[in-house]
């Protein structure tokens, strides 16, 4: 199994796992066009982050600690 930063599947949505309000980012909702996962250097190790795009512009970034992720299903 690949770690989250090297998984090449297309991300459909990310959300805070303990969120009871239903706040999340999903491609196709509120102008979100793409979500990518990448690493940034932390104090002691690499930290996974999500970049949430509107068009070609990164509108939001959030670290993936305590976050859930949904991948787009592959077309048959």
**Taking a C-beta distance cutoff of 8 angstroms, is the pair 47, 65 a contact?**
yes
Q: Which residues contact 57 (CB under 8 A, 6 or more apart)?
A: none
The confidence score (pLDDT) of residue 2 equals 65
Structure tokens at 20: 């009871």
pLDDT tens series, the chain, 76 aa = 567 777 888 999 999 888 777 778 999 999 999 999 999 988 888 889 999 999 999 999 998 988 999 999 876 6
Cα separation, 15 vs 72, in Å, equals 15
**Taking a C-beta distance cutoff of 8 angstroms, is the pair 67, 16 a contact?**
yes
């Amino acid at each position: 199994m690949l770690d989250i930063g090297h998984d090449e599947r297309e991300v459909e949505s990310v959300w805070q796992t303990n969120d009871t309000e239903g706040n999340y980012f999903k491609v196709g909702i509120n102008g979100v066009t793409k979500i990518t996962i990448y690493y940034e250097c932390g104090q002691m190790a690499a930290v996974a982050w999500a970049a949430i795009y509107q068009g070609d512009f990164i509108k939001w970034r959030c670290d993936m600690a305590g976050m859930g992720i949904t991948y787009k299903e592959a077309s048959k």
